[in-house]
Structure 1
Amino acid sequence: MRIARLTALASAALTMSVALAGPNPATPLTEQSNAAWLRKLPFADRADFEDAKRGLVARFPEPTIKSADGKTAWDFGAYAFESAADAPPTVNPSLWRLAQLNNEAGLFKVADRVYQVRGADLANMNIVEGDTGLIIIDTLLTAETARAALDLYYAHRPRKPVLAVIYTHSHADHFGGVRGIVSEDDVKSGKVEILAPNGFMDEAVSENVLAGGAMGRRAQYMYGTNLPKNATGQVDTGLGKATARGTITLLAPTSSITKPIETRRIDGIDFEFQLTPGTEAPAEMNIYLPQFRTLCIAENAVRTQHNLLTLRGAQVRDAKAWSYFLSQSLLRYGDRTDVLIGQHHWPTWGHARIVEMLSDQRDMYAYLNDQTLRLLNQGLTPLEIADTLKTLPEPLASKWYARDYYGSVSHNVRAVYQRYLGFYDGNPAHLNPLPPEQTARKTIEWMGGADAVLAKAREAYAHGDYRWVAQIGNDLVFADPSNAAARALQADALEQLGYQSENATWRNIYLTGAQELRDGVPKLQGSSLGSADLVRALTVPNFFDYLAVRLNADKAAGKAMTLNWQFTDLNQRYAMTLRNSALTYVADAQHAQPTATVTLTKATLDKISLKQLTLPQAMQSGAIRIDGNPQAVAGLFAMLDTFDPAFNIVTPHGYQK
């Protein structure tokens, strides 16, 4: 691509790539790319802006939501820069439009006795007024934002007690705030009922355990948590503004929805639950309120194409099942629904509009699944499929709620390929390639050395070939991460890709990569096991599985032991074996002649997991009793790795800037 000012741009590119300073402005080529979006999509359609404001009761009274220690859990002013009507050159106009819509924060009336709090966390809180109390559908991510959301409601509606909480699905932004609105004592006493879809607890606590360290680190990129909130940084996440900071909590359900369709009457209100397993979450359900002709679609339909494989990492979701359950929702509720609410974004009113939206969302996931299968059966590889499909078919591609703000055609079709065929694309050259650092060094050497490659990469950057510069720049950095000029150019290319991206998570990933190339990886503290409530919710098998993941095979080489575990409070017994650098266990069993027997309570194990108690302290106090070899348990724990929550991503493992 060639345009006017290319010579000046080339000169600027040479200058900006020498120093690791940033952020940079949008290049003329990025400005041109972003301006072109104004001709691609129906920006004159302002219906969403009307709907996002509809029913407003009140804004939040304070500029921030604070945690108990005085820290800011949520800052309503952080995105004030998005009030400008026109997108700045550093933000894709389509993404800017969504970012403005997601900035509508406050308490909204959706229908008679149905209210919604938006804009104080990644997700929504829906509040249904019963005859004597409230039924809360999802609780946001943190106790601090949940409490503020309920306080806003109480400031403008009668102060009725919360009688029931419903978790629509097993992701933390929908249950993490529960202790901000109800107490554990009230749940235990029966004053408050908690309902959730079948399998909720297992999915809620297990998804982020075994690969939790990597997921947490990648989530920093996906949500842009370390980026400044401004026009050259984080502007949105696609589903909402950001993830709140604060205390993630969990109270176990008192009742589970187990039938495909199940009805309950709660405080005078009829609720019809539709289980949708294996869709946006492994455990998820829609909720229909017949008295109010209102359908809560959970997170199965949002105002963006969703992820079939979240970029933080998880198991691939089933696009075919997702489409199927949306079909079932349309069949069962389409003719009886006047209001559609979800756990992200704003509602949809009107029968015809609701049917159109759900039909389009159904078709979108069917298209992604079926067209990927069509092309993979023709022999196309994941990247070839992504390059072939590129976008959804018209008129679907022009619907705002089908745009690539969170999921994308590009990474979703690759997810479908992975679900059916796995990581290997069938090409023998890709079966056992060299690891990244070796590949990078050899590639750069064969291309004439770092200086020659850097000169060619700068020329490509000047021509706006940012995808290629990011790709070859990655090889330059992995071949020699101390090469400051290579890191700078790689950062510059990633930055422009971020500025051009319609997808909020792609933007966050690109810009976080640029930030870490320039500034290094921020050293963070944290546990991949998450909050105290999530640790306490782990089953003993969950904990043992996590121990097995942490076992360092080199430290365990040649060692063997058998341990019997006895949990007195749970009346559970386990037989554990260390052999061949693998840690395995069997429930309801004991070794006849163990190396040692460990007797304790689950509460003691929780305290050790939360670092509130050390193993020696527990043994000294009698909280743990060890019969047999007293060094066995200490020896096992000495073989375990502690995961770094800030490992390298855009530079080689082990490199420190």
Structure 2
Amino acid sequence: MRRLTMMLLAGWMPFAALAQDAASEATRAAQAELAKRLPLDDPRDAANATRGKIAEIPDGLIQTADGRVIWDRRPYAFLDAREAPDTVNPSLWRQARLNAVHGLFEVVPDKIWQVRGYDLSVMTIIRGKTGWIVVDPLLSEETAAAGWKLFADTVEAKSGKRPIKAVIFSHSHSDHFGGVGGIVTPERVKAEKIRIIAPHGFSEEATSENVLAGGAMGRRALYMFGAILAPGPTGQVDAGLGPKLSSGTIGYMEPTESVGEKGGTLTIDGLVFDFLDAGGTEAPSEFVFYIPAYKALHTTEVVTHNLHNILTLRGAQVRDALRWSKVIDAMLLKWGGTADVAMASHHWPTWGAGEVSSLLANQRDAYRYVHDRTLFLANRGATLHELADQTAEAPVQAADFSTRGYYGTVNHDMKATYQRYFGWWDGNPANFNPLPPEQSAPKYVALAGGADKLLAAGREALKAGDYRWAAEILNKLVFAQPDNENARAALASAYDQLGYQAESGAWRNYYLAGAASLRGNAVEAATSNGQSRSFVSAIPTAVFFDALATRFDAAKGSGVRGTFQFILPDSKESVAVVVGGGVEFPRYGVTDPAPTATVTIDRKILDEAMMGRVQFPALIQSGAIKIAGDRQAFLSWFALHPLADPRFNVVVP
């Protein structure tokens, strides 16, 4: 654990909270230069973002029955201003204003509607022959329910009530399936034979993505999405991909059928859907589809109105920019010139066959540029940071806002592509095994001639507008002296300006959240209700035990040896956990003939423990867990799985 106290982690500071900086002269100049070279007044996106709007939720406010706020757009009224303040990149300001448009929109007259602006993602509703087909029911059950009510009160009130015939999960990220419980229940799915359709591999990917590395991903996501920033011109403005994350209940529903890796057609409620597999692009399990009867293309998250991440700031497995570009080209070849509208799981649609084809071609070129420029430079000796720093934006980005780096960036995406091919190391032996920051930082301070000299150098860099260099050297001082108020303040100032200048919503949020953490004025994140029972119950038992193994304290448990057999009667599963040599290896489906101890527990009780609703000692005492064999050995082993504190430090040691 890093050495700053838990009081700091909880937000308590031993000194007064420091004021946030205004935009510097260098930042104002950078904003003006960007505004000058981009056609920020191009009206086409604004026209598309507002086209077909027929209703909205008043104030964009969604609450639970007991008054808990799940979504609230009132604090973002500052986005009504047309001109960007100096503290927001003018291109990001444009994107934020477009993402702020919320309501129910008619995409294809009397055929397709979208609910936008009430979550990070978009919910699409399609008219079938006898009922509705819902695509991507948002992240939270509460926002999905509110969006569906808006649709029912507006559309069904006029055309008549119709049943939901199918729900389509376009890919395996939770902001596209987590709200399903807000529109249908498992009982309704079974009784009404509602089809739940997803791409192949969906179940495993959807439920396991954040289980193994969920703690670190969740912590970094607070920074990436600006959840610890107050909304405002010097705070959280937008996430680029959408406004922000909702804070409701994340659920899950098992698909009733899947689309194979070869794609193909399905008739859903009398309507033909043509699917194309896109797994391995933005998500490991993903598809796009076309509805010939409506000439409508759903591009999922493969094509949205920004350059996406090849590697997200919160963390993920590195994606494949080359495959991404090829999937988009396949869409262009198959449906370009035919599709009259392209809609996605984020942002607003694009209308017109020519405009749709241009959107696809430009997006394809952006990802191909990232991939090919990375390898062009890497094969000539450029390393991870060098190749990204010497590459200008793609030519297409100057002409098409949909390719700009509002979420991912060319810089970060090239680094991710380098990592995909070459790993984290640049090939220089000096960087193969560098000292960790807490060990190297004091040496840098000493080399600079002491803290005062390093701080003075950092302040000179700030004065010169050299914020990246200022951040680099001041970070050394903060890691050497984390309680140095002047160092923290100076580093926060560098992060302020870097955040203000960032076109990427994710970069802005991360910089400004870092500054807020240094100053001790980060706000309390609007936390989710968490994963529902339906989500936790869907996590494969093998994944649960793999996740448990990542919590094993090898330092304390290096001498432990044995096999602990788990029997789950209700799910008819068994797992033998073999422990020895500082590791534990779960063997799913194995029954050991001579275990050290045998633990009998229902999977549903295990789910309760996973959600923190019950504790193992209480379960043992109540008899919900039965232990045969060496009971003390089991208890001693299980005690070697401490929970990680999710509030670990990010920008200080």
Structure 1-normalised TM-score?
0.94
**Letter matched to residue 141 of structure 2:** A
Structure 1 equivalent of residue 438 of structure 2: 437
Matches within 5 A, 1:162-311: 162-311=164-313
2:93 corresponds to which of 79, 86, 96:
96
Bigger CA drift: 560-569 or 436-445?
Answer: 560-569
Q: How far, CA to CA, are the matches of 1:513 and 1:339 in structure 2?
A: 40
Cα deviations by residue, 1:213-243 (Å, 9 ceiling, x for unpaired) = 0000000010000101000000000011110
Give the match's secondary structure for 2:346: coil
Q: How far, CA to CA, are the matches of 1:156 and 1:360 in structure 2?
A: 36
Relative to structure 1, the CA distance from residue 154 to residue 607 in structure 2 (aligned partners, 3 Å threshold; closer, same or farther) is same
Q: How far, CA to CA, are the matches of 1:636 and 1:525 in structure 2?
A: 36
Q: How far, CA to CA, are the matches of 1:539 and 1:57 in structure 2?
A: 42
Give the match's secondary structure for 2:58: coil
Give the match's secondary structure for 1:343: coil
Bigger CA drift: 530-539 or 504-513?
Answer: 530-539
**Letter matched to residue 138 of structure 1:** D
When the two chains are superposed, the root-mean-square deviation of aligned CA atoms in Å is: 1.7
Structure 2 equivalent of residue 6 of structure 1: none
Structure 2-normalised TM-score?
0.94
Structure 1 equivalent of residue 138 of structure 2: 140
Runs of 4+ in 1 over 6 A off after TM superposition: 520-529
**Letter matched to residue 107 of structure 2:** V
Q: How far, CA to CA, are the matches of 2:412 and 2:17 in structure 1?
A: 30
Relative to structure 1, the CA distance from residue 211 to residue 140 in structure 2 (aligned partners, 3 Å threshold; closer, same or farther) is same
Structure 1 residue 441 displacement after superposition: 0.5
Relative to structure 1, the CA distance from residue 109 to residue 366 in structure 2 (aligned partners, 3 Å threshold; closer, same or farther) is same
Give the match's secondary structure for 2:560: coil
Cα deviations by residue, 1:153-193 (Å, 9 ceiling, x for unpaired) = 11111232222110000111101110000011112334322
Structure 2 equivalent of residue 108 of structure 1: 105
Structure 2 equivalent of residue 492 of structure 1: 493
2:29 corresponds to which of 29, 32, 35:
32
Cα deviations by residue, 1:233-260 (Å, 9 ceiling, x for unpaired) = 0000001111011111111111111142
Q: How far, CA to CA, are the matches of 1:520 and 1:561 in structure 2?
A: 48
Q: How far, CA to CA, are the matches of 2:47 and 2:526 in structure 1?
A: 42
Structure 1 residue 100 displacement after superposition: 0.6
Structure 1 equivalent of residue 76 of structure 2: 79
Q: How far, CA to CA, are the matches of 1:72 and 1:503 in structure 2?
A: 27
1:572 aligns with 2:569: no
Cα deviations by residue, 1:271-316 (Å, 9 ceiling, x for unpaired) = 1221111000000010111100000000000111100001100000
Judge conservation of contact 1:215–1:312 (CA < 8 Å) in 2.
Answer: yes
Bigger CA drift: 59-68 or 157-166?
Answer: 59-68
Cα deviations by residue, 1:550-586 (Å, 9 ceiling, x for unpaired) = 0011221211121122221222222211101101022
Unaligned runs of 5+ in 1: 1-17, 653-657
Q: How far, CA to CA, are the matches of 2:628 and 2:527 in structure 1?
A: 33
Structure 1 residue 589 displacement after superposition: 2.2
Give the match's secondary structure for 1:156: helix
**Letter matched to residue 203 of structure 2:** M
Structure 1 residue 618 displacement after superposition: 2.3
Structure 1 equivalent of residue 629 of structure 2: 628
Relative to structure 1, the CA distance from residue 526 to residue 589 in structure 2 (aligned partners, 3 Å threshold; closer, same or farther) is farther
1:129 corresponds to which of 123, 127, 146:
127
Judge conservation of contact 1:107–1:117 (CA < 8 Å) in 2.
Answer: yes
Give the match's secondary structure for 1:237: coil
Identity of aligned residues (%): 46
Bigger CA drift: 163-172 or 40-49?
Answer: 40-49
Structure 2 equivalent of residue 160 of structure 1: 162
Aligned length: 634
**Letter matched to residue 446 of structure 1:** L
Judge conservation of contact 1:140–1:146 (CA < 8 Å) in 2.
Answer: yes
**Letter matched to residue 133 of structure 2:** I
2:118 corresponds to which of 117, 120, 123:
120
**Letter matched to residue 118 of structure 2:** A
Q: How far, CA to CA, are the matches of 1:121 and 1:142 in structure 2?
A: 8
Judge conservation of contact 1:457–1:469 (CA < 8 Å) in 2.
Answer: yes
Bigger CA drift: 58-67 or 117-126?
Answer: 58-67
Judge conservation of contact 2:250–2:529 (CA < 8 Å) in 1.
Answer: no
**Letter matched to residue 468 of structure 2:** R
Q: How far, CA to CA, are the matches of 1:353 and 1:236 in structure 2?
A: 26
**Letter matched to residue 56 of structure 2:** R
Give the match's secondary structure for 2:281: coil
Judge conservation of contact 1:142–1:245 (CA < 8 Å) in 2.
Answer: yes
Relative to structure 1, the CA distance from residue 497 to residue 512 in structure 2 (aligned partners, 3 Å threshold; closer, same or farther) is same
Structure 1 residue 611 displacement after superposition: 2.0
1:372 aligns with 2:386: no
**Letter matched to residue 641 of structure 2:** L
Unaligned runs of 5+ in 2: 1-14
Q: How far, CA to CA, are the matches of 1:362 and 1:404 in structure 2?
A: 14
Q: How far, CA to CA, are the matches of 1:580 and 1:222 in structure 2?
A: 37
Q: How far, CA to CA, are the matches of 1:625 and 1:190 in structure 2?
A: 40
Q: How far, CA to CA, are the matches of 1:98 and 1:527 in structure 2?
A: 25
Relative to structure 1, the CA distance from residue 171 to residue 486 in structure 2 (aligned partners, 3 Å threshold; closer, same or farther) is same
Relative to structure 1, the CA distance from residue 523 to residue 303 in structure 2 (aligned partners, 3 Å threshold; closer, same or farther) is closer
Q: How far, CA to CA, are the matches of 2:543 and 2:419 in structure 1?
A: 26
Judge conservation of contact 1:319–1:369 (CA < 8 Å) in 2.
Answer: yes
Relative to structure 1, the CA distance from residue 39 to residue 422 in structure 2 (aligned partners, 3 Å threshold; closer, same or farther) is same
Structure 1 residue 337 displacement after superposition: 0.5
Judge conservation of contact 2:311–2:318 (CA < 8 Å) in 1.
Answer: yes
